[in-house]
Amino acid sequence: MSSILLLTSSPRAESLSTPIAVDLAEKLKSQNPGSVVVRRDLAANPLPHIDDLFTGAIRKPAEARTAEEAAAVETSDELVNELLAADTIVISTGLINFNIYSSLKTWIDNVARAGLTFKYTESGPVGLATGKKVYVVLASGGIYSQGPAAPLNHAVPYLKSVFGFLGISDIETIYVEGLAFGPEAAEKAIDAAKSRVQEIALAA
């Protein structure tokens, strides 16, 4: 059974990234009968920020953790299992101060776990979350896929770095960009993203 992990991160009721990611996940599911969508609305249900207890607990083997430490990694373990079980990951975020929503960053901080999603070897770190495809729906006021503002797009290079570190290099970004350039430009951007979603779904 194929599993699609859907991570939405916008807190905005009028979010432009969320509906496109939801639509992509639903279309991928209908193209693959028997597949399931596991959704995490990271804005509506914020994950715990990593803290002193958590960072200490993940450095210990599970059997050496106190009850308090075990409780501190419980959610993270669940998130790691969801990530490892997924074949496809659909993520949505806005470009927020040139990077991702902090709710999504917290998810990343919870799933990047030595020994579970990556490991250290003599020849350097090796990702353990292999064999997955990631789609990132990125909404932004400006244009960052190309042109003069592209160097300010810290979201896509960051996501590529972190997923690459976890063993996932197959990443496609669906830009919903130029949303601040008037209603016509916004409509064009949304239509372009919807068309790409349609193409991806048909090819799935």
Ligand X SMILES: Cc1cc2nc3c(=O)[nH]c(=O)nc-3n(C[C@H](O)[C@H](O)[C@H](O)COP(=O)(O)O)c2cc1C
Binding residues: 10, 15-17
- Under 8 Å CB-to-CB from 103, ≥6 apart: which residues? 9, 11, 42, 43, 46, 47
Residue found by looking up tokens 């960052």 in the block: 144
Please state, in angstroms and rounded to a whole number, the distance separating the CA atoms of residues 18 and 101: 12
CB of 25 to ligand X, least distance (A): 15
Annotated binding-site positions for FMN:
10, 15-17
Residue 185 is a binding residue for ligand X (CB under 6 A):
no
Question: 20 or 79: whose CB is closer to ligand X?
Answer: 20
Choose, by CB under 6 A, the member of 5, 16, 57, 168 that binds ligand X: 16
> Which DSSP symbol is given to 117?
T
The neighbour count for residue 193, using CB atoms within 10 Å, is 24
- Candidates 50, 70, 96, 190: give the one binding ligand X (CB under 6 A): 96
Going by C-alpha positions, the residue among 87, 186, 81 that lies closest to residue 135 is 87
Size of the site for ligand X (CB under 6 A): 16
153 lies in the binding site for ligand X (CB under 6 A): no
> Is there binding between residue 141 and ligand X (CB under 6 A)?
yes
Q: Which residues bind ligand X (CB under 6 A)?
A: 10, 12, 15-18, 94-98, 139-142, 179
